[in-house]
Amino acid sequence: MIGRPRGFDADEALHAAMLVFWRQGYEGASLADLTGAMGITKTSMYAAFGNKEQLFRKALARYDEGPASYALRAVEKPTAREVATAFLTGSVHTTTQPGGPAGCLGVQGSLAAGDAGEPAREILAEWRTNGRQLLETRFRRAVDEGDLPPGTDARRLALFVMTVAFGIAVQAASGVSRTDLQEIADTALHHWPV
Amino acid sequence: MIGRPRGFDADEALHAAMLVFWRQGYEGASLADLTGAMGITKTSMYAAFGNKEQLFRKALARYDEGPASYALRAVEKPTAREVATAFLTGSVHTTTQPGGPAGCLGVQGSLAAGDAGEPAREILAEWRTNGRQLLETRFRRAVDEGDLPPGTDARRLALFVMTVAFGIAVQAASGVSRTDLQEIADTALHHWPV
DNA sequence: CGACTTACGTACCGATCGGTACCGAATATC
DNA sequence: GATATTCGGTACCGATCGGTACGTAAGTCG
């Protein structure tokens, strides 16, 4: 690499930005908030990440690799029941981790927004749909493998689990405790598969 | 009333403001957006409603009386099962009403926010807790009346139903159809009470 | 018709928004 | 050491943010 080397760790800066978006949402996170937490100036941020929207995209990707990685691990479980259990337990843990922002970046990052927040809203709506697709595909496989009863509606099952996960995220953002949320998750899957 | 009469209907204006907050969230709704939809100038808005935060409070009260009034009607049903069914069906209808904003004002009005949106965030966190309390009290009564089995955890039941309702709100905001959401609601209550 | 009271419209306030021009500082190559 | 290349900091951009001062219009009272 030629030229002056950057004086900060881009990975750490991105992590800090992710936390700010997570805690304050896309519209609620100003460039001053972001760069302040990242420990860099606006100029450095624009040079390294493009603009606010692209920074958000990268922060979301980082969220997938870190806090939301429980989703990919969940669908690797051997049975549909274990998949659903791991998925909801993972969402409970991530949305209530001590010291971190309460709730889920994919939900509270941008749910309703004005014109300025429209890009983030669309990005996250797609993110949520992808999550459902992930579960639906996995449950369809479970039906094919005989793990779930023939005729089981994989899409409906996936929608249900995702809905509970999103509800958990909202509750976590409202301050509901990890213990309560785990009870909710257990309740939702008590009569699995339904 | 002495002096010049106001040239607009305060009720209609408040309704229009509620729709803007609902569609764009507290932070995403600028005064220009609000007053534009209300058909009045900023001065008239401040004279009639105080400021942005108080306008939001009044819009939320209006939401309770209108779109969210299904909640109070639901808890008047004779049995806990009917209460839960009416509550979730009502939430599905309100969050997917044609021509209106998708989702729930109480959820997407402000879930994560920066400093400017902090008041709205707290107002809505309390609003959500009140909803749970409403159901919990009703379910406790159902236990006392013998409608629900003795030893039933009313709080846990209320948390579960609220969580599904919030999840439905998030899904609606993401564009999931009314038909799909009604299926989710049916799935959640299929093994009632649990 | 005045006098009084209230609402409306304009023009403006300081602060902050996301984003950029510009220049000096730091490093690799020659 | 000179040069090329990149990064960092300051100072600034027009636009918009929530909120207000002030003059004028539109009514009710005497």
Same domain, B181 and B87: yes
In angstroms and rounded to an integer, the radius of gyration of the C-alpha atoms of chain A is: 19
The DSSP secondary structure of A116-181, one letter per residue, reads GGHHHHHHHHHHHHHHHHHHHHHHHHHHHTTSS-TT--HHHHHHHHHHHHHHHHHHHHTT--HHHH
User: Are A42 and A118 in the same domain?
Assistant: no
Tell me, yes or no, whether A139 lies in a domain.
yes
Is there a contact between B131 and B108 (Cβ–Cβ < 8 Å)?
no
Average pLDDT for consecutive 10-residue bins of chain A (194 residues)?
A: 92 98 98 98 97 98 98 98 98 97 98 97 98 98 98 98 98 98 98 92
Residue B32 confidence (pLDDT) above 80: yes
Q: Classify residue B144 by burial, with Cβ atoms within 10 Å: 0-12, 13-18, 19+.
A: exposed
Q: Are residues A116 and A93 in the same domain?
A: yes
Q: Smallest CA–CA separation between B6 and chain A, in Å?
A: 29
> For residues A1 and B37, what is the distance between their CA atoms, to the nearest angstrom?
54
pLDDT computed for residue B1 by the predictor: 74
| Residue B3 within any structural domain of the chain | no
Confidence band, pLDDT 50/70/90 cuts, at residue B193: very high
Instruction: Please tell me whether residues A172 and A114 are part of one structural domain.
Output: yes
Tally of CB atoms within 10 A around A77? 15
Taking only residues 41 to 60 of chain B, the set having a beta carbon closer than 8 angstroms to any beta carbon of chain A reads none
Residues of the domain holding B71: 67-189
Which residue in this structure is represented by tokens 């309460």? A102
Q: What percent of chain A has pLDDT over 70?
A: 100
Q: What is the CATH number of the domain that holds B15?
A: 1.10.10.60
Cβ-based neighbours of A79, under 8 Å, separated by 6 or more: A142, A147
- Looking at the fold, whether B20 and B71 belong to one and the same domain comes out as no
What's the complex ipTM?
A: 0.96
Token pair belonging to B173:
């905001």
Domain presence at residue B2: no
CA dihedral over B50, B53, B56, B57, signed as positive or negative = negative
Query: Across the interface, do A111 and B113 touch by the CB < 8 Å criterion?
Result: no
At A194 the pLDDT is: 83
B17 CB less than 7 Å from any atom of strand D: no
Please give the protein residue whose CA is closest to the C1' of the nucleotide C29: A2
Instruction: Give a yes or no: residue B194 inside a domain.
Output: no
In tens, the pLDDT along A48-57 reads 999 999 999 9
What pLDDT score does A1 carry?
Answer: 74
Q: Is A166 on the interface with B (CB under 8 A)?
A: yes
The answer to the question of residue A2 being in a domain is: no
Verify that B54 and B97 share a domain, yes or no: no
Per-residue model confidence (pLDDT) at position B173:
98
Tell me the nt nearest to B55, Cα to C1': D18
Domains identified in chain A, total number: 2
pLDDT-derived band at B194 (thresholds 50, 70, 90) equals confident
